[in-house]
A and B are shown apart, each in its own frame.
Chain A
Amino acid sequence: MKQFTVKWFAAYRAATGLAQEQVQSSAGSPSELFAEMTKQHPDLGQYSRALVAINDQMASWDATLSGGEQVLFFPPVAGG
């Protein structure tokens, strides 16, 4: 199992009740990790998936996670 720091923002923070959590997971990508997290936090299911960042860099949903990363899940953005 790998260890990740997951950060939640805006609607996701409201759905999970957490700004940040430490997660043990075998997920190989943000996409797999988000799917696992949705099982733990079913309220995430009501929101769309949007952008993801790894260690403060924008990343793709199928990027490789090797463990130790900080994974930032962003709900659909609405600036402007």
Chain B
Amino acid sequence: MTHPELNTPTPPSSTGYFAISSESLNRKALRASLQDVSSGAFVLFEGWVRDHNEGRKVLQLEYEVYEPLAITEGNLILQEARERFAISLAAAVHRQGLLKLTEPAVLVGVSAAHRGAAFDACRYIIDDVKARLPIWKREHYADGTTEWVNCKVKD
């Protein structure tokens, strides 16, 4: 099943959804899917591809995703956010594949009656998405080399 607006394989539930996308992320569609008459606040976080990391010049990023578990665990994070914070709807979409500089790699949207819960839930979701989902990032550098981020044992 495909979400009609996001063109992703995960159908939205009535309270939000987590999806992986191989296409450019659509922030307008994400926002529209979280509109809700009881909400007075909407917070959107975007993670972008930047041109440097740890002193090296980055040209592009590649994301590998183990989709079956990423979607299960991503939806679990959204469910935890709904249980912990007074929010209306929450959704997140993460890219896979090759991304250029400035492209969004992840979108997290939260709607809530009041802004405090929306900010708190958005922070919770992006922090756990980064720490818990089977998603890996390979940086392509200006000198032609590549490296999987955060993987090497620290000396």
Q: A interface vs B, CB < 8 Å?
A: 9-11, 14, 45-48, 51, 53, 56, 58, 72, 74-80
- Size of B's binding interface in residues, CB under 8 A: 29
Q: Roughly how many angstroms separate A45 CA and B153 CA in the complex, as a whole number? A: 8
Q: Roughly how many angstroms separate A52 CA and B86 CA in the complex, as a whole number? A: 32
User: Is there an interface contact between B136 and A10, defined as CB atoms closer than 8 Å?
Assistant: yes
- What chain A residues lie within 8 Å of B82 (beta carbons)? none
Count A-B pairs with CB separation below 8 Å.
77
Secondary structure at the A interface, as helix, strand, loop or mixed, is: mixed
User: Residue of A at shortest CB range from B108?
Assistant: A80
Which 9 A-B pairs have CB atoms at the shortest separation, nearest pair first?
Answer: A79-B135, A10-B136, A11-B148, A11-B151, A80-B130, A78-B137, A78-B149, A80-B47, A76-B150
User: Is there an interface contact between B148 and A79, defined as CB atoms closer than 8 Å?
Assistant: no
- What chain A residues lie within 8 Å of B136 (beta carbons)? 9-11, 75, 77-78
User: Is there an interface contact between B135 and A78, defined as CB atoms closer than 8 Å?
Assistant: yes
Q: Roughly how many angstroms separate A74 CA and B72 CA in the complex, as a whole number? A: 16
- What chain A residues lie within 8 Å of B149 (beta carbons)? 78
- What chain B residues lie within 8 Å of A9 (beta carbons)? 64, 66, 134, 136
Does B144 have its Cβ within 8 Å of any Cβ on chain A?
Answer: no
A56, A76, A79: residue with the most chain B Cβ atoms closer than 10 Å = A79
User: Is there an interface contact between B66 and A79, defined as CB atoms closer than 8 Å?
Assistant: no
